[in-house]
Amino acid sequence: MQENNGSPQKPSSVACLPCRRRHLKCDARMPVCTRCQTANTECHYVRSRRGRRDQPRRASSRPDEEASSVPTDAFSDWLNANAFSPDLGLLTTQDLFQPCQSFPLSTEALDTFSETPLTTPTIARESMIQLYYQNFHPSHPVTIPQKALNSPTAHFIPAYLISVMRYIGAHYYPDPSLKQALQQPAYSFLTDPTLRDGFTVQALLLLAIVDHSQCHEQSAHRLLQTAVSLALEIGLHHACFAMENSYGQPVLEESWRRTYWELYIVDGWLAAIHEQSPFRLYDQRASVLLPCAERMYSLDNVIPSGQTLDDLQNHWLAQSFSTFAYRIDAVRNLGAVLELNRSLEGNIEARVETIDAHLSSSLMTLPALHGDRYDSSCHDEMVFQAQMTLYLALIYLHHPRSSMCFASFHTHDPSTSCTRLKLPASQSQSQSTITPSPALDLHSHKLLRAADLLSSLATLPSTIQHRSPFFTCALAMCTIVHTAALLVVSGSRREESLKARVQLSIGALKVIGRVWPLARTVRGEMVGMYKEVVGG
């Protein structure tokens, strides 16, 4: 085959082996394709089995051959195959892909955001990609930063991950029809069992967050557990993975480190929200380095931290760490609380006090929420989430040991609930039997204090819609604690303060609900619960 010097290059029936192994589009330039030239890797070619694109297209269920639909049988094959071999019972197609059963696709929208054979830097300037980076990426900085996407590094990013990013960005666009049009291309990679690399883990993780925020809890659980299984299978938790799969790009190497730790964080959050779910990565030994500073990453000027989780735990006085690292440590502390609450030991009060001291000291040693900036309207999202997680850990620690009586405020469909706080069997009587008490025990005071501080995060001047969708469940926890407290302190001076806190959290849920359906659902649950307690 010879290069075409005069006419524009047509789609090629040839793909180099490195691109084929990584399931990436190849421009088939000779003698070296653009991706291999950028990565300075050896380039070999084999004949493509798909044939030229100008030939009549055959009926196929592959997402890159039939972008307008994902057949049910292909999706069922993905569910029933051991492609990712998660240790879970299989769900039905409807359970996992419920939002994408059937909807009209906008031809104009799909034409506007059609996938190109090769991801190019111009992708970074697309409107949906910009919305993704402006609104979602700061809360979950896993994919390469926008500056890196606007560079030759973009050639390494597979088209299906770009489709997921577009779909997330469309959640922040006022016209919901565009989100519907981009939804199916975002999920279509699930039908290809050959996609088994770090980019697949990223796509699964991002969709798990989205499905959780869309009230599709079974799908979110399945996607996350699949991502965890695949990450461990390909060795993402080993330090060598990032270097061996970075193609000489420091920003991509850092992205792999962040992918594992973001998986760790989301795994911990969902384990806390749904207490029956295990925190699989809590006890998993990992040698992967901690992430670098956020500003360094966003500017595509990565210098590896050289630090591990053991350094964070044992040398916190001697070293400084990135704010992302403190977020990881907060989730590790949350995992310790979850493990304690599942313990069957009789006398654990000493452990409770030790964990309480760890949580309090972690809050005291966190970097400033506003950093070193003069503008107090901006905050570090990683510090924000670390605080949110530590306050949640305190609530989970003190709630089972508090004298406060909690009612079980759950919807009829538990898959949309943000919490699993329940009454002990001895306290399952109607609320009318609860007697208000002017005095609270120590655990109740600490519980209320944590809920107060957690709800106060909603008062920050920055836009609440830009925060992680997981803030929804944090606000739900605050509302439950403050509403339950009204049953105990009724008629006291604290009552008006508690009502104001409930109003704050419900108002914040309304704002987040403009983007994420889970917040709308949870807000309705919380309003119903509050009316049940105070009347009206």
Tens-digit pLDDT profile for residues 192-203: 999 999 999 999
Rounded to whole angstroms, how far apart are CA atoms 238 and 159?
A: 26
Q: Torsion angle, CA of 79/85/87/93, rounded to 10 degrees?
A: -10
pLDDT at 356 over 70: yes
Could you give phi then psi for residue 146, rounded to 5 degrees?
-60, -35
Q: Which of 21-25, 140-144, 465-469, 507-511 is predicted with the least confidence, judged by mean pLDDT?
A: 21-25
With a CB cutoff of 8 Å and minimum separation 6, the contacts of 125 are 150
Share of the chain above pLDDT 70, in %: 74
Quick one: tokens of 518? 């889970």
Quick one: tokens of 484?
A: 């339950």
Q: Supply the pLDDT for residue 284.
A: 94
Average pLDDT over residues 450-468: 91
- Are the CB atoms for 311 and 319 separated by under 8 Å? yes
Band of residue 404 on the pLDDT scale cut at 50, 70, 90: confident
Lowest mean pLDDT among 135-139, 218-222, 304-308, 382-386: 304-308
Phi-psi region of 235 (alpha: psi -120 to 50; beta: other; left: phi over 0): left
- Indicate whether 210 pLDDT > 60: yes
pLDDT of 301 strictly over 70: yes
Residue with structure tokens 């306290």?
Answer: 427
For the entire predicted model, the pTM comes to: 0.78
Among 340, 338, 397, CA closest to 363: 397
Alpha-carbon separation of residue 497 from 47, 392, 439, 485 (angstroms): 71, 20, 16, 11
Average pLDDT over residues 85-104: 36
Residue 474, C-beta contacts closer than 8 angstroms, at least 6 positions apart:
388, 391, 392, 454, 457
Residue 428: predicted pLDDT: 38
**Looking at per-residue confidence, does 190 or 487 come out higher?**
190
Start-to-end CA distance of the chain, whole Å, equals: 78
Of the candidates 167, 258, 280, 144, the one whose C-alpha atom is nearest the C-alpha of residue 214 is 167
pLDDT surpassing 80 at residue 211:
yes
Higher pLDDT, 516 or 402: 516
pLDDT attached to residue 377: 59
Contact 26, 19 (CB under 8 A): yes
SS3 call for 423: coil
Using alpha carbons, select from 132, 448, 388 the residue that is nearest to residue 268: 388
Phi, psi of 116 (to 5 degrees): -90, 160
- How many C-beta atoms lie closer than 10 Å to residue 461's C-beta? 10
